[in-house]
Amino acid sequence: MSIGDVFQEFRKEKGLTQEEFAEQTFLDRSSVAKIENGKRPAPKDFMLRTATTFDEPRLYLAAQEEVTDGACVPWLDNADLHRAATHYKSMEEAEEALAAMKTAPIMKRPDQLTAADREAIKITIFECVEAITALTHHVAVLCKEYTFSWLGIWKEHRAELKAKKYMN
C-alpha cells in the first residue's frame, strides 16, 4: 500500500474531504489528490506534518516505510488489531524471539560460524523482527484505544534514554 493510499484511507475513516484534509495539513487540495492517486510523491515535510497533526501511529509508520523503502515495521492492515489480540500476539512473538535468542551461537566470532550457526542467527533475527512488529502494533493500538499520544510516548522514551546516557 502506498503512502497516498494510507493517507486516503485515513482521511476517509476520519470523514474528511480532500479540502478539509488539505487545510489541516497545510497543503492545497490538488496536491493532496495527486499524492493520494500516486501522481505526486508525498514530500517529507508533508508526511511529518500529517502524522503529527493527527498523531496517528499508522501515518508515522507509513512515513517511515516511504523514507526507508520498507526497512521498518509495516502497518498490518489485514491483521486483528483488537487490543487483546495484539496483547497476546506480542507475548507470543516475544517468547519466540527470546527462545531463539537463547539458542543463537553469538559467542562465536563470524569466522567460527558453521552454516547451521549462521542459520540459527538468521532465525533469531527474524524472530526478533516479528516481535518488534507485534510490539509496535500493540503500542499503536494501546495509544489509540487509551488516547495516549504516539509521539508523546516516543518523546518520553527518548528523554529516558538520554537521561540514562544511552544516546546524546
pLDDT in tens, the chain (168 residues): 889 999 999 999 999 999 999 999 999 999 999 999 999 999 999 999 999 999 999 999 999 999 999 999 999 999 999 999 999 999 999 999 999 999 999 999 999 999 999 999 999 999 999 999 999 999 999 999 999 999 999 999 999 999 999 999
The dihedral region occupied by 55, where left means phi > 0, alpha psi between -120 and 50, and beta the remainder, is: left
d(CA 52, CA 8): 16
Contact 90, 134 (CB under 8 A): yes
